[in-house]
Amino acid sequence: MNFNEKLQKLRKEQKLSQEELADKLDVTRQSVSKWESGQTYPEMDKLLTICKIFNCTLEELTNDEIKVEEFNKESKINIVELILEYIKKTYNYFANITFKEFITVLLTMIVVVFILHLLHYPFVELENIIRNAASYLKEGFITRFIVGISSFIIDIIYSFGSIFVFFYIFKIGFLDRKEIIISDKVVEAQVEEKEIVQTRVVKTNNSKSSIRLFDIIGKMIMFFIKVFLIFFAIPFVMLIVFLSCSLAFSIGLVFRGVVFIGAILGLIFAIMLISIVIEFICNIILNHKHNAKRMIITLLIGLIGGGISAGILIMEVSKYEFIDGSPTEIEETKKTYNFTYKKGMYVSSYLGGYTSHPDENMKDNEIIIEVYNYKYSSEIFLEEHDNIIVLTSNAKKEVKPSEYADLIIKALKEKKIYSSFVDHNSRFIVIANSKTLKLLEDNLDTIRYNSQLEEKRNENNELRKEIEHLNDTIHSLEKEKEELRSQNDKLESKIAEYKEKVSNLID
């Protein structure tokens, strides 16, 4: 669609007469009529004013390849096309600038990078403020999660914001200005319309094959970007699965009488935010267009709703009592084992040390071992093998998950949060008179000493074998050395013989 056709169609869509448009442009009606008939072409300042009136760009207005229907729709944006167009414009720009202009661009963008680096410090201070505020809260998973998520969001905002600002400054500072300068030269030349459209676009000196090569490079770059985005999206997909499971669990708690409105709303809004991120990434990967308006509205709703949900959750959790201990339902059990001391007997435990408790009222050779265990801990077994009392355990008892869930839900209903529900260590107490305890400890020390002695003996044997191996190696090398010395003597005698022959021939 030519410029004159675009101007006429845009004017009619805005329901403007030629006189009304002429008044806005401060020209005569005849001038507008000549533009629409293709007899003349407006000046640069009039073109810019026309762009403002009809809310379009100079490229859209003067490029014959772009139709009015294409630039008059604002609801959807193709990010992939924008990126490829930006890459092409950047390539064309650097292909047609002088060395002096290149140095100017380089120095300017270095200054921009330096300024963006300075702007990173406020974001760092914001992270420190959040960490300091979190330090006043009780250390736990929720606190670490809030600090981690906050730091991640701040880093993402700074990173993407810096990249956007860097490329946007380059666009408005150099790419757009180059197009305006070239378009101005076109208007001043007042050539025919087809030549105008051709000359206003930045030309390259490359052949068609080089342009195709550039398109291939651009597609390769986009391919690697898409592959990176796929891996980048995996954590978000896993996160949304985790949040969905957490939401289902929270809703399940409601039917058990435990209601966390803040948690449920927070999970819903978090899923909304993560969904927007995943949708954005998928649209880029699949070359789909974005509904920018809907995505921005959803993002704002998610952020506002997340903040409100966090406040509600904090108020709900503040009503709970934090208890450093376990529920009373988790009872400690006690088992008693009786043994008779025999010569060389000792107590061996693979579960850690035990406590000795002397009782002088007990008879010699009488031993009692008390095992204190918990409901959900591993079962402890005491067995006697060859005068050794062995303390062992099996795997943890098979407990239905519903039992754990009932304990947790009951505590939450009572507005209590316990530090532990199942992690308890067993205790072992060996009771005997002092004489018997001393014999048990001496026997254990003797066993340990003999074990250490055996280990050292084995180490010495290994060292002895290594020394013998090294001696054999030395002997072999010395023998080889003698053989080489003998060969060397023979060669030296031959050399002397050859020298003597050479000397005789010379004489």
Q: What is the 3-state secondary structure (H, E, C) of 435-476?
A: HHHHHHHHHHHHHHHHHHHHHHHHHHHHHHHHHHHHHHHHHH
The strand ranges marked E within 275-319 are: 290-291
- Could you give the dihedral angle defined by the CA atoms of residues 59, 65, 71 and 76, in that order, rounded to the nearest 10 degrees? -110
Segments in 372-433 forming alpha helices (H) = 401-413
In terms of domains, do 220 and 184 share one? no
**pTM of the predicted protein model:** 0.42
Residue 12: the pLDDT is 85
In terms of domains, do 232 and 185 share one? no
Q: Is residue 293 part of a domain?
A: yes
In terms of domains, do 308 and 214 share one? yes
Dist CA 316 CA 314 (whole Å)? 5
In terms of domains, do 122 and 49 share one? no
Q: Is residue 92 part of a domain?
A: no
- Which residues, in sequence order, are bridge partners of residue 367? 339
In terms of domains, do 57 and 101 share one? no
Cα distances (Å, whole numbers) of residue 138 to 157, 257, 321, 419, 422: 28, 26, 12, 12, 21
Domain boundary among 429, 446, 463: 446
Token pair of 379 as six digits? 């079962």
Domain boundary among 294, 319, 344: 319
Q: Is residue 32 part of a domain?
A: yes
- Could you give the dihedral angle defined by the CA atoms of residues 177, 182, 185 and 190, in that order, rounded to the nearest 10 degrees? -130
Q: Is residue 42 part of a domain?
A: yes
DSSP 8-state symbol, 14: T
- Which residues, in sequence order, are bridge partners of residue 369? 337, 430
Tell me the mean pLDDT per 10 residues along the chain, length 507: 83 85 87 87 83 80 72 52 78 79 81 81 82 72 78 84 80 67 47 42 38 52 74 88 91 87 92 89 77 83 90 88 74 80 80 78 87 69 74 59 76 79 68 89 87 90 92 90 90 87 81
Q: Is residue 504 part of a domain?
A: no
Residue given tokens 């209601």 in the structure block: 259
Dist CA 492 CA 129 (whole Å)? 84
Cα distances (Å, whole numbers) of residue 263 to 141, 404, 410: 15, 21, 19
- Which residues, in sequence order, are bridge partners of residue 357? 431
In terms of domains, do 288 and 310 share one? yes
Dihedral pair phi/psi, residue 484, rounded to 5°: -65, -35
- Which residues, in sequence order, are bridge partners of residue 10? none
| Strand 76-77 to 290-291 pairing | antiparallel
Token pair of 158 as six digits? 């700074």
CB 213 within 8 A of CB 223: no
Dihedral pair phi/psi, residue 356, rounded to 5°: -95, 135
In terms of domains, do 260 and 359 share one? no
Cα distances (Å, whole numbers) of residue 104 to 44, 91, 182, 280: 26, 17, 19, 35
Q: Is residue 502 part of a domain?
A: no
Structural domain count of the chain: 4
In terms of domains, do 197 and 211 share one? no
In terms of domains, do 190 and 220 share one? no
CATH number (domain holding residue 22): 1.10.260.40
Comparing CA positions, the residue from 173, 174, 199 lying closest to residue 185 is 199
Comparing CA positions, the residue from 415, 410, 421 lying closest to residue 317 is 415
Token pair of 64 as six digits? 């014959």
Cα distances (Å, whole numbers) of residue 21 to 11, 51, 185: 8, 12, 25
Domain boundary among 280, 298, 319: 319
In terms of domains, do 179 and 211 share one? no
In terms of domains, do 354 and 411 share one? yes
In terms of domains, do 15 and 43 share one? yes
Domain interval for residue 164? 97-201
Q: Is residue 483 part of a domain?
A: no
Token pair of 213 as six digits? 């090569």
Q: Is residue 26 part of a domain?
A: yes
